[in-house]
Amino acid sequence: MSEGSVDVVAQDTTLGPLLESQVYYTQGKGDNSTDNTVISPQVVLAGIELSVAEAAQTVDACAELCRGEDPCTWFVWCPAQGGCDAGGVQLEFQDCQLLAPNGTAVPQVLAQGLQVAATSGFPWRTEARQFPGFTTVPAQGFEGMGDQTCPGSVLPGKCAFRTAVEAAMFCMTAASQCRTIVVYPNGTDGASDLVAVLKAVNLPPSTTTASPLMYSITRLDNLPITAQYLYNSDGTTILPTPEEAAANSSWQGCFIGRNAAVDGIVVSTIAQPSAEACCRACRGWGLGSASVVTVNATSTPDSCNCWNYCEQPGGCRYQASGGMVLQLEQYQCQLRFQTLIQPTLAYPAALIAKGPAVPFSAGGPIVTSGPQLPGYTLLPGKGLFSFGRFNCSQSLRPEIQECVLPGSPQQLADICDQEWECEAFILKQQGVSGLGSSLGIFKHDANASAILWNPTGLLYLRDEQPAVPPSPSPSPPAPDSAAAASSLSAGAIAGIAVGSAAAAAALVGAAVWLARRRRQRRLHQQGAKLNGSGGSSSERVADEEAAPASGAAPAAAAAAPDAGPPPSAFAAAAFDTGGGSSSPAPQSLTSQPSVGVGELPHLPSMSSTVLGAGMPHAPSLALPELQQLIQAQDAAVTSSSGDSGGAASPSDAQQQLLAAAQLPQGLRDFLVDPDSFHYCRLPNGKLHELGSGASGKVYKAVLHGEFVAAKEIEIGTNPDLQQTFVREAVRLHQLRHATVVGFVGVALVGTKGVLLQELCEGR
């Protein structure tokens, strides 16, 4: 083996990056195993020459030489007996030139074509991370298109994070824009720390590059996106002692999660006698967990906002997907930092994993505090993310159907008291994603199974049940019961049944569910009072929410915690699609509610509560409540359908398909591009039909990677059918209730109108 030059080949002499179309894989394209090799015939790659090995009889032998020499990243091999020109360096027959990156993560091409005798390539060393709802594409990525900006980015002009887990979590929440994450294990320069860049487009066939220093994670449109969080039931909350609270110290408490490991940049690893001591050390490490910390793509943060701890004898070890190993000795405390959970972004912590197989405890300090408010129970360090959302007048986030309003804590409580849907609100002292400070996020439901750890959250649970909404004014005539049943069945219970019989069953099921929810809420109130007194840690553990009694909670409350609330849709607006992309981003969901499988209202299944034998009679109080709500919304539909001016005359309309311009203004904001969703098919190729009735059929569909129910109605050019369709869509849009499946959007597809709603699959 002879030593070669270490000069860097000039970048301006290259022909461009190595494209995926120029390579083949020895173990097959997409193989994630670390013994895969990528070969590019008749190509010479640029780089820093480390050495030239002689007598490498095959290209695979050359690849193994590179794999065994750590700085080597790619190689050039000469298969020609007359020798090969390797960009000004003459290689003899079977010489293997070992190269290191020259300031880029993507190999650059020096020469290519039929006149080139050499063969280049690289070994694949990195086992890429796997995430639910995504497919991992090893050794591929792209640059120069689909770049956007977002809060907390570590790279200017891009949306980038220091860990793949944080990037994937943000991508899950920026549902409509984020399509791909390009991960650079050694940074974009090939010689620094990991960075993951979110893209608004899929891998482009013509410009996808091949590199051993990148891989891509692409969203799948036929699979739901899921994420893991630490829920209230996954751990213990420790609050300050009265002395600490009186001293106004920086210690606001801590959440300690069992059998979990948090992601983030490792700040330091220290010895601590307990998990609480680890949490206190994290809080005091630079005191940055309560402030905004600027993180770039290479520096180590000087503050801590989450941690992992090992208490078991013999140490703790866990291997995650992608080969990443987390290992700590007994009593070791690993301090970490996550960009996402900084106060200005206010996300829950991203997890590496949780469950019985994870031997660590994990958590973080609570970094905010708020006043006790009359009529409310305060849970510090807790939140509901996007569970229980509803819209309201003057919301800062109406496009995602989230009621977000500014105000002091007492002002926010007064707003909740006056809003009949409000059961709780989360106070964000430092705002969310640049929306200002002291914001309230209001919730129509606060199910115990949905409460999760959020270090910047202050969850205020309303002690008294919200009042039943007032009866509608008698002046607008309400539709007869048959019409109401037809409309409710067509939309509110989409995907379960279609027709008036299903609507009647839905009303009964709703009554049972409301009664059960009230009983469960009373159980919550008995155990939700926080106790900040006491001396030892065990005495200062905050009382956890009482678990609902068996059979008294909605079906989803008994589900696995990870099937609970979905990622927040705040990121959908934060992931800015306005900047600098050379390719248009996919249609945004920011004008529509983000719908995920984990985001569905917790309705009991129709088979178990409506059709099951021996079902107890529902209290009479719930059924009139829902009937009053339907009557109120019918009255609103009657008035709103009259403002859709500009419609054609009946004679003209008979010859016209329904157009977007004929929809009421409020409904146009929920118009979905037909190309943005598609119907699911069964293994036999037939459409996946969920139900059918006199007015149409309901199919299972996928909208931006999330399952929805699509009711397809033939409206043609008949103005009466068109008007009926519009009235039904408007009613569903305006009908907000905890017992009604949420409205997603409306689409016009040829002669058909399509109502898109949340899918209650398996609930």
- The alpha carbon of residue 593 and the mean position of all alpha carbons in its chain are separated, in whole angstroms, by 13
Tokens 């002091």 belong to which residue? 408
- The alpha carbon of residue 661 and the mean position of all alpha carbons in its chain are separated, in whole angstroms, by 33
What 8-state DSSP symbol labels residue 469?
P
Do 301 and 267 meet the contact criterion of CB atoms below 8 Å apart?
yes
Do 514 and 625 meet the contact criterion of CB atoms below 8 Å apart?
yes
Q: Residue 410 corresponds to which tokens in the numbers above?
A: 């007492």
CA-derived radius of gyration, the chain: 29
Q: Residue 238 corresponds to which tokens in the numbers above?
A: 């420790």
Amino acid present at 88: G
Buried b (16+ CB within 10 A) or exposed e, 698-725: bbbbbbbbbbbbbbbbebeeebebbbbb
Amino acid present at 336: R
Query: Residue 455 CB: number of other CB atoms within 10 A?
Result: 30
Buried b (16+ CB within 10 A) or exposed e, 458-474: bbbbbeeeeeeeeebee
Q: Residue 383 corresponds to which tokens in the numbers above?
A: 């939140």
| Start-to-end CA span in the chain (Å) | 66
Distance CA 643, CA 664 (A): 7
Distance CA 631, CA 720 (A): 22
The backbone region for 519, taken as left when phi is positive above 0, alpha when psi lies in -120 to 50, beta otherwise, is: alpha
Distance CA 18, CA 546 (A): 58
Closest Cα partner for 466 from 744, 736, 741? 736
Distance CA 398, CA 389 (A): 11
* 711 marked ligand binding residue: yes
- Which residues are bridge partners to 327 per DSSP? 317
Q: State the chain's maximal CA–CA distance in angstroms.
A: 96
Tokens 């529902």 belong to which residue? 618
Virtual torsion, Cα 138, 144, 145, 149, nearest 10 deg: 100
- C-alpha separations of 48 from 51, 110, 602 in Å: 9, 13, 59
What 8-state DSSP symbol labels residue 584?
P
Query: Within 13 Å of residue 305, how many CA atoms lie on the same side as its CB?
Result: 29
For residue 524, what is the enclosing H or E element? helix 500-527
Distance CA 725, CA 731 (A): 10
Amino acid present at 493: I
Distance CA 320, CA 354 (A): 10
Do 429 and 438 meet the contact criterion of CB atoms below 8 Å apart?
yes
What 8-state DSSP symbol labels residue 402?
B
Distance CA 567, CA 424 (A): 18
SS3 annotation, 486-514:
HHHHHHCCCCCCCCHHHHHHHHHHHHHHH
Closest Cα partner for 165 from 5, 302, 353? 353
Do 390 and 472 meet the contact criterion of CB atoms below 8 Å apart?
no
Closest Cα partner for 485 from 470, 476, 468, 498? 498
Q: What are phi and psi of 513, to 5 degrees?
A: -65, -40
Burial class of residue 555, CB neighbours in 10 A (0-12, 13-18, 19+): middle
Please give the annotated binding residues for ATP, written as ranges: 711
Binding site per annotation, positions: 711
